[in-house]
Amino acid sequence: MNPLLQKFATPFHTPPFDSIKNEHFLPAIQTAIAEAKAKVQQIIDNQALPTFENTIEALEQSGQAVDLISAIFFNLNHAETNEELQKLAKEISPLLSEYGNDITLNENLFQKIKSVYEQRNQLKLNTEQSTLLEKTYKSFVRNGANLNETQKQRLREIDKEKSQLSLEYSDHVLADTNNFELVIENPADLVGFPESVLEMAAQTAQEKGKPGKWVFTLKFPSYDPFMKYTQNRDMRQKMEFMYANRGFRNNENDNRELVKRIAQLRHERATLLGYASHADFVLEERMASNVPTVRNFLDQILTVAKPVANQEIEELTEYANELDGIEQLERWDFAYYSEKLKKEKFNIDDEILKPYFKLENVIEGIFKVSEKLYNLKFVERKDIAVYHPEVIAYEVQSADNEHIAVLYADFFPRAGKQGGAWMTSFRGQKKENGINHRPHISIVCNFTKSTPTKPSLLTFNEVTTFFHEFGHALHGMLADCQYESLSGTNVYWDFVELPSQFFENWAYEKESLDLFARHYETNEPIPAELIQKIKDSANYMSGYQTVRQISFGKLDMAWHAQNPQNIADVAQFENATMAETALFPTWEGTNMSTSFTHIFSGGYAAGYYSYKWAEVLEADAFELFQEKGMFDTATAQSFKNHILAKGGSEPPMTLYKRFRGKEPAPEALLKKTGLIK
């Protein structure tokens, strides 16, 4: 019996990871697709006049098994993959792409949907039903329903190839990340490293069969401290070069041709549907709405941030020159000297802060913050199966013990896990037949592991990352919509980062830090002066960080807001695009595009600007908490009711103004980051 095709006899119908095997996925997907197609055929064959219920709602419910099984599969392929899963992904992705096209390109089905859509003003639909109808109709049009048969066939071919190439791209980045390690044998090369970093590197060496040595990798918890603390400039250059040339090494994992091909396919698809570019296609369904708005937005912030960033780099160059005689600061010098200067300016660095951020305490703190804001409780559940022994499963409850969600937490790097941090869901929230089906949410991170002598102690950057992903998780867990396709994080992509970036603010506030930041050895609370230093240093290098984010947004738009057909050389194109945001000299042999997984294998194509866009929203939203109080119940309840619970059930600006009473302005962000006074 295939466990993926049975009703899960588990707590809250969570996936039975302990009985799912790799060989179950392909037949389960094939069966679920066949069943979904049969349900769609029933909609088409129904002789009754098309209605919202027998067409739109029926279609919403038709592919639930496909969604569930594919969510389990692709979440595992990101967090706990292996060669077998990666091979399966290359079979399953085209099947899902074909299945999606079989539905959206079905002329008879579209005519029924169109019939309901054309009656929309006569139907007495509530707000969420109207949104679902609008979204369903537009998704068919945006996926080729109005094309002729030849064009529809070409669209199918594009989607199939595109899905395969995106998987190949991310596999290449992961392989290049895993295929490099820096082995250090001489202790003299490790002068200046914190003890905790050395212990982690020694542990990595032990795991890799190199006892008595120190091994650093391109996984972020290893790469990041190496760049901050190694005094050896040649080693810094080597490590940074290998990080910056993933997918660009002229090996079997080279992504240059994939990048060009993915961009070309996206453009061809957009023009086939009548759009000028992929960005024009994407932005039609975003708050920003069009390319000029995005470009003006990025330019507006760049105009303010670039002079500040230039001053910061100038100051850092002078500092490096005074310290070590360095006349030209290079990219591989930035982390090292900025960390030293930060400590000098603010008497604060990761090693001072880390003892106060033991992972278990941070988990407890985030739970306490969530309890004070939203009346949530988190109960560890050993009876919920997990996909790896390191994963922790929690039941999320309300203050009166009502079941809210299941939360999976996966914190540490592994060979089979993609880099970075993300929130995802195994099952979304929906209401059906009078039952509110609660969501199964997961956060996946790559935090610093414990060592034989120390528990997992987080850098402050890891703490803010945790808060960020937990903000996304709250968006998923507190969803309260009728339809799964509209609930939780199913919102416009330039709105989805609002809850995550908004929640980061509590990592900086004394009222929040006092709840959990305690020294792992003495249990002493974090001193008030350290909290003040965290706040004082929050905007350190904010010009540099802002310009860096803007550069990524501009690179994304450059790939997707024009016809990429004539881009012959990926490196030349990237260098020309990023010249206006460059803060360091061009570095031959490195490339951002070939490892830019957000846009070439994630969902951020023509949408990377949304991080900055959402920062404007969150800076404006957080001002209200600063006025009313960090844990003001009424304000938190309003944010929950109008933003977190509503998902994509209404236009995002409508929801935002309902919470805030006004539209946001960029000045809130520029003030918050110290770029204007």
User: For residue 157, what are the contacts with CB-CB under 8 A and spacing of at least 6?
Assistant: none
Whether residue 567 is predicted with pLDDT greater than 90 in this model: the reply is yes
Average pLDDT score, the chain: 96
In whole angstroms, give the CA distance from residue 75 to residue 68: 11
Evaluate whether residue 447 is within a structural domain. yes
Report the alpha-carbon angle 644-468-657, nearest 5.
35
User: For residue 124, what are the contacts with CB-CB under 8 A and spacing of at least 6?
Assistant: none
User: What pLDDT sits at residue 50?
Assistant: 98
CATH number of the domain encompassing residue 449: 1.10.1370.40
User: For residue 78, what are the contacts with CB-CB under 8 A and spacing of at least 6?
Assistant: 417, 418, 422, 424, 444
In whole angstroms, give the CA distance from residue 77 to residue 628: 43
DSSP 558-588: HHHSS-GGG---HHHHHHHHTGGG--S---T
Residues 25 and 113 both lie in one domain: yes
Give tens-digit pLDDT for 248-279: 999 999 999 999 999 999 999 999 999 999 99
Whether residue 474 is predicted with pLDDT greater than 90 in this model: the reply is yes
Give tens-digit pLDDT for 483-507: 999 999 999 989 999 999 999 999 9
Whether residue 602 is predicted with pLDDT greater than 90 in this model: the reply is no
Select which of 60, 240, 312, 469 is catalytic. Answer: 469
User: What pLDDT sits at residue 666?
Assistant: 84
> Which is nearest to 353 in space by CA: 200, 222, 197, 458?
458
Evaluate whether residue 165 is within a structural domain. no
Collapse the DSSP code of 422 into the 3-class scheme (helix H, G, I; strand E, B; otherwise coil) and give the result: strand
Residues 479 and 495 both lie in one domain: yes
CATH number of the domain encompassing residue 133: 1.20.1050.40
Residues 216 and 285 both lie in one domain: no
Evaluate whether residue 672 is within a structural domain. no
pLDDT confidence bin for 667, thresholds 50/70/90? confident
Evaluate whether residue 104 is within a structural domain. yes
What's the whole-number mean pLDDT along residues 79-91? 95
Residues 295 and 418 both lie in one domain: no
In the DSSP assignment, the letter for residue 370 is: H
Residues 386 and 503 both lie in one domain: yes
What's the whole-number mean pLDDT along residues 214-232? 96
Q: How many CA atoms lie within 13 A of 77 on its CB side?
A: 24
Q: In residues, how long is the chain?
A: 677
Give tens-digit pLDDT for 37-64: 999 999 999 999 999 999 999 999 999 9
In whole angstroms, give the CA distance from residue 658 to residue 661: 6
Q: 466 to each of 423, 430, 508, 536, how far by Cα in Å?
A: 10, 26, 13, 21
Residues 448 and 547 both lie in one domain: no
User: Looking at the 3D structure of the chain, how many domains does it have?
Assistant: 4
Residues 15 and 73 both lie in one domain: yes
Give tens-digit pLDDT for 159-215: 999 999 999 999 999 999 999 999 999 999 999 999 989 999 999 999 999 999 999
Q: Are strands 214-217 and 376-380 parallel, antiparallel or unpaired?
A: unpaired
Q: Are 322 and 425 in contact (CB under 8 A)?
A: no
Residues 64 and 108 both lie in one domain: yes
Residues 441 and 377 both lie in one domain: yes
Give tens-digit pLDDT for 524-566: 999 999 999 999 999 999 999 999 999 999 999 999 999 999 9
Residues 25 and 101 both lie in one domain: yes
In whole angstroms, give the CA distance from residue 413 to residue 416: 8
Structure tokens belonging to residue 535: 């706040």
Burial class (CB in 10 A: 0-12, 13-18, 19+), 489: buried
Whether residue 7 is predicted with pLDDT greater than 90 in this model: the reply is yes
Residues 344 and 363 both lie in one domain: no
For residue 223, give its domain range: 180-244
Burial class (CB in 10 A: 0-12, 13-18, 19+), 648: buried
Q: Are strands 403-410 and 422-427 parallel, antiparallel or unpaired?
A: unpaired
User: What pLDDT sits at residue 30?
Assistant: 98
Residues 211 and 129 both lie in one domain: no
User: What pLDDT sits at residue 556?
Assistant: 98
Evaluate whether residue 661 is within a structural domain. no
User: For residue 112, what are the contacts with CB-CB under 8 A and spacing of at least 6?
Assistant: 43, 44, 50, 55
Write the secondary structure of 471-523 as one string of H (helix), E (strand) and C (coil): HHHHHHHCCCCCCHHHCCCCCCCCCCHHHHHHHHHHHCCHHHHCCCCECCCCC
Give tens-digit pLDDT for 349-368: 889 999 999 999 999 999 99
DSSP 392-421: EEEEEEETT--EEEEEEEE-S--TTS-SS-
Evaluate whether residue 168 is within a structural domain. no
User: For residue 673, what are the contacts with CB-CB under 8 A and spacing of at least 6?
Assistant: 539, 542, 546, 619
User: What pLDDT sits at residue 470?
Assistant: 98
Evaluate whether residue 435 is within a structural domain. yes
Give the strand order in the sheet containing 440-444: 376-380, 392-398, 403-410, 440-444, 422-427
pLDDT confidence bin for 665, thresholds 50/70/90? confident
Q: Would residue 157 show up in a list of annotated catalytic residues for this protein? A: no
What's the whole-number mean pLDDT along residues 637-659? 97
Evaluate whether residue 400 is within a structural domain. yes
216, β-bridge pairs: 182
Last residue within a domain, chosen from 94, 122, 146: 146
Measured torsion, CA atoms of residues 407, 408, 411, 415, in degrees rounded to the nearest 10: -160
